[in-house]
Amino acid sequence: MSADTQTILFGADSTERITAIQVGESEAVLYIRDNSGIRTQREPFRPWLLVTRREDVPESSDITELQGEGYRFLVMFPSWSEFQNALHSLHSSMADYFAYPSAEKQFLTMSGKTMFKGMSFEDVHRLQVDIETASLSSEPEAGRILMIAVADSLGFEEILEGDEKDILSKLVKVIQERDPDVIEGHNIFGFDLPFIAARARRYGVKLTFGRDGSEMRFGKERTCTIGGTSRPFVPAHVNGRHIIDTMFCVQRFDVPRGQLERYGLKECAQALGLSEPDRVHIPGDGILALWQTDPETVKVYARHDVRETARLSSLVCPAEFYLTQMVPDTYQSAATSGTGEKINSILIREYLRRRHAVPCPKPTRPILGGYTEIRTVGLVNNVVKCDVESLYPSLMLTQQIKPASDVLDVFLPALSDLTERRIRAKTKAQLADGKEKAYWEGLQSSFKILINSFFGYLGAPFNFNDPDAAEKVTTSGQAIVKKIAESIEEKGGRVIEIDTDGVYFCVPPNVVDEESEIAFVEEVGEELPTGVRLAHDGRYAAMLSLKIKNYVLVDYSGRKIFKGAAVRSRSDERFGREFISNAVDCLLKGDKRGVSRLYLELVDKIEKGLLLPEEFARRERVTKKTFESAQKKRLAAVAQGVRIGDYVNVYEKADGTVGLIEHYKGDEDRSRLLEKLYGFASRLRDVFGDEFDRLFPNPMARAKAHEAESTGQGTLNLFG
């Protein structure tokens, strides 16, 4: 019989309102927020690790043998130093062991405690920080902090200005007096805190931001998981507080939505409807000059920055916050770690609570993926999307697919309970408004994040993984979605695209409004197995289908939704994005020749050097690899002095090098731009079929023809 799912998901300890923990050698300090403010509670801490063989640790160690196979010996230590020594020894001897490098995570896992129980996101005291500087680099003497804007969730707002040393001292004082649980900033890890620390060192200012009066410190570089990718960063740590970078949080928030092209604060705020009504905009390189002549405008700009950071946080951070009520980890760490790791730590916590061995991960292997197929290319009107609600989790629950190593039967009860909790939270969110609605929305989003990761967990290198179980899920999912497509066509619909758990289709002639669309989808869903629910997931006036997972939807209000890198990619140059966007407009009107005209006009414009530099500039992020990789050496040549994590706008020069756009001298590589344009047009090839080569002649062939003509070897008229 499975353990109580409340204990599985939220831990065995019910202590509420823990806002932070600080773990030392052998003691943990809990910061608990009650009606009178913050109080501390001290508890003993014993570091621990797991090994597969008793002989890998000294006989004198405090060892508990756990039931089952795998990591079956729990080793406890009296202090963090002794744990570190043992870890070094195990690593040197190449022993098989499992250990969390974070003392906070160790304490939370073994104690069954989690943070923020009994609290809503609005209960947490959050403080936002934004700095305005004379330079992007903190190294030169002149690269000073001009002012720091601070605000918090309790209504406080202030601009810290004056002598730079005084500004830094004022920041320390504000943090100590306001005593926030969380410090937030947009790119705070990549820019604000490293800059503040560098300037503080220059003046000998101690950044005693900690609740215990300790100084801020920086950890080792780690990565922030963002969908299927990760971003390196160097975390800063403040005892008794969490640091949250909203730049990472908004990227994680946007992964399933794909609605943001840029992740700068102003761009995000504007795209998400969070901007100040009278938002002040100042180019980064213009702040110093304006500060010298009009410091009041710069102050307004800085205030707008912290206000938008606060609003952005309120939108993109609650899901991670509520996950921290379940996961044995800090909020700061949970906001950058992957969901698979979160599930793993929940399962490990329960196995250790029940004194059972933790299984060793199985070798990973390629797994059969979801079924995808495109059946219709081009423009289609009156389109509906139907979607199986949580297809893979539903199949895992209905078919009882779980890891073979989950002998305590924790995995599926946790998934089932999360699903039920999410349904209840969604229902309550629909019936509520204001802060109550925000609470239930944040809660249901946190449940959704975990639910949708249970399948991916099976195929990844975690302790309870099971590639065979994962493949059973995908095989069953393929059969389901194929059945849906077959049923739609049997009933008179026309399938456009099938993608894993959903189908876009053109409705039959007798389906004329949303009500009849919903009824049609319900009729198709009646043929599916019990526990698998098909839902009406959107209706569109038109769909331009280009290739699998690449399409444009037009809703009945005329709004366009772009999906897939073929129609919109953040890495594309502006002229390419604009060409694709304008081409889509033509295709939606049925004007294929209009796309060809756009193409030929751009060819001519490129050849004559009439493109503006900002139209062909490429935005590149400077990372450590920029200066280490042989493939990046051209970029490294122009990125000297640029801070890791910042962006530069570059272009390809005719001599084969890369140049900064601010140094542009009419020397772009036009042949390369023509190749790029042809590549953009080629994304539309499937829509044009046999007409493509005639309507979009390769400009490089034209260049060769010109060369042949100049050498007397003949002519070829490609463009009429």
> Among 58-67, 135-144, 562-571, 607-616, which is the least confidently predicted range?
135-144
> How close are the terminal C-alpha atoms of the chain, in Å?
78
Q: How confident is the model at residue 61 (pLDDT cuts 50, 70, 90)?
A: confident
> Alpha-carbon distance 620 to 527, whole Å?
50
Question: What is the sign, positive or negative, of the torsion defined by CA atoms of 616, 622, 623, 628?
Answer: positive
> Alpha-carbon distance 557 to 45, whole Å?
59
pLDDT for the residue 718: 40
> Alpha-carbon distance 216 to 208, whole Å?
6
Copy the structure tokens of residue 92. Answer: 């040197």
CB 242 within 8 A of CB 183: yes
Mean pLDDT of 667-679: 93
Q: How confident is the model at residue 713 (pLDDT cuts 50, 70, 90)?
A: low
Cβ neighbours of 603 (radius 10 Å): 20
Copy the structure tokens of residue 338. Answer: 């992957």
CB 503 within 8 A of CB 484: yes
Q: How confident is the model at residue 228 (pLDDT cuts 50, 70, 90)?
A: confident
Strand ordering across the sheet containing 145-152: 157-160, 145-152, 126-133, 182-185, 242-245
The secondary structure of 572-593 as a DSSP string is S-HHHHHHHHHHHHHHHTT-HH
Read off the pLDDT of residues 469-498 as tens digits, 9 standing for 90 and up: 999 999 999 999 999 999 999 999 999 999
Strand partners, 573: none
Read off the pLDDT of residues 528-544 as tens digits, 9 standing for 90 and up: 999 899 999 999 999 99
> Alpha-carbon distance 586 to 684, whole Å?
12
**Helices and strands (H, E) in the chain, number of each type:** 27, 26
> Among 36-45, 130-139, 403-412, which is the least confidently predicted range?
130-139
Query: Is the pLDDT at 427 greater than 70, yes or no?
Result: yes
pLDDT for the residue 710: 52
Query: Is the pLDDT at 559 greater than 60, yes or no?
Result: yes
pTM: 0.86
Look at residues 225, 218, 163 and name the one whose alpha carbon lies nearest to residue 188.
218
Mean pLDDT of 90-96: 94
Q: How confident is the model at residue 569 (pLDDT cuts 50, 70, 90)?
A: confident
Mean pLDDT of 668-693: 93
Q: Which positions ≥6 away from 719 have C-beta within 8 Å?
A: 600, 603, 697, 702
Q: Hey, what amino acid is at 124?
A: V
> Alpha-carbon distance 317 to 252, whole Å?
10
> Alpha-carbon distance 572 to 515, whole Å?
40
CB 50 within 8 A of CB 61: no
pLDDT for the residue 717: 43
Phi, psi for 672 (deg, rounded to 5) = -65, -40
Q: Does domain 5-119+339-353 have CATH number 3.30.342.10?
A: yes
Copy the structure tokens of residue 198. Answer: 């560098």
Phi, psi for 409 (deg, rounded to 5) = 60, 60
Q: How far is CA 633 from the centre of its chain?
A: 28
CA distances (Å), origin 680, targets 165, 311, 560, 598, 662: 52, 37, 19, 12, 26
Percent of the chain at pLDDT exceeding 90: 79
pLDDT for the residue 204: 96
Query: Is the pLDDT at 153 greater than 70, yes or no?
Result: yes
Q: How confident is the model at residue 15 (pLDDT cuts 50, 70, 90)?
A: very high
CB 333 within 8 A of CB 342: no
Choose between 393 and 259: higher pLDDT.
393
Look at residues 267, 131, 284, 113 and name the one whose alpha carbon lies nearest to residue 196.
131
pLDDT for the residue 649: 85
CB 343 within 8 A of CB 453: yes
Q: Quick one: fold of 122-322?
A: Nucleotidyltransferase; domain 5 (3.30.420)
> Alpha-carbon distance 442 to 318, whole Å?
5
Angle (nearest 5°) at CA 82 between 324 and 223: 40
Domain ranges for the chain: 5-119+339-353, 122-322, 372-563, 589-710
Mean pLDDT of 663-674: 92
**Which architecture characterizes domain 372-563 according to CATH?**
Alpha-Beta Complex (3.90)
> Alpha-carbon distance 62 to 50, whole Å?
12
Query: Is the pLDDT at 370 greater than 70, yes or no?
Result: yes
User: For the chain, what is the mean pLDDT?
Assistant: 92
Phi, psi for 152 (deg, rounded to 5) = -140, 175
Percent of the chain at pLDDT exceeding 70: 95
Strand partners, 183: 127, 243
Copy the structure tokens of residue 665. Answer: 């001298």
CB 128 within 8 A of CB 309: yes
Kindly state the DSSP code that residue 355 receives in the 8-state scheme: T
CA distances (Å), origin 646, targets 192, 594, 641, 651: 12, 39, 11, 17
Look at residues 441, 173, 478 and name the one whose alpha carbon lies nearest to residue 316.
441
pLDDT for the residue 641: 67
Query: Is the pLDDT at 447 greater than 80, yes or no?
Result: yes
Read off the pLDDT of residues 172-183 as tens digits, 9 standing for 90 and up: 999 999 999 999
Q: How confident is the model at residue 719 (pLDDT cuts 50, 70, 90)?
A: very low
Q: Name the one residue in this structure whose structure tokens are 């160690």.
A: 61
pLDDT for the residue 143: 79
Q: How confident is the model at residue 2 (pLDDT cuts 50, 70, 90)?
A: very low
CB 197 within 8 A of CB 218: yes
* Crossing angle (nearest 10°) for helices 246-254 and 295-316: 50
Q: Where in 257-364 does DSSP place strands (E)?
A: none
Mean pLDDT of 515-523: 96
Cβ neighbours of 256 (radius 10 Å): 11
Query: Is the pLDDT at 712 greater than 60, yes or no?
Result: no
Burial (Cβ within 10 Å: 0-12, 13-18, ≥19) of residue 65: exposed
> Among 290-294, 498-502, 629-633, which is the least confidently predicted range?
629-633
Copy the structure tokens of residue 577. Answer: 């994005």
Q: Which positions ≥6 away from 237 have C-beta within 8 Å?
A: 216, 217, 218, 219, 243, 332
CB 620 within 8 A of CB 575: no
Read off the pLDDT of residues 247-275 as tens digits, 9 standing for 90 and up: 999 999 998 877 787 888 999 999 999 99
pLDDT for the residue 567: 83
Q: How confident is the model at residue 56 (pLDDT cuts 50, 70, 90)?
A: very high
CA distances (Å), origin 256, targets 176, 251, 445, 544, 563: 38, 10, 12, 21, 11
Look at residues 136, 101, 111, 98 and name the one whose alpha carbon lies nearest to residue 27.
111
CB 368 within 8 A of CB 476: no
pLDDT for the residue 139: 75
Cβ neighbours of 259 (radius 10 Å): 11
pLDDT for the residue 663: 87
Q: How confident is the model at residue 355 (pLDDT cuts 50, 70, 90)?
A: very high
Q: Hey, what amino acid is at 117?
A: K
Q: How confident is the model at residue 120 (pLDDT cuts 50, 70, 90)?
A: very high
| Secondary structure class of 164 (helix, strand, coil) | helix
Cβ neighbours of 76 (radius 10 Å): 15
pLDDT for the residue 196: 96
Q: Quick one: fold of 589-710?
A: Topoisomerase I; Chain A, domain 4 (1.10.132)
Element (H, E) at 174: helix 164-178
The secondary structure of 673-693 as a DSSP string is HHHHHHHHHHTTHHHHGGGHH
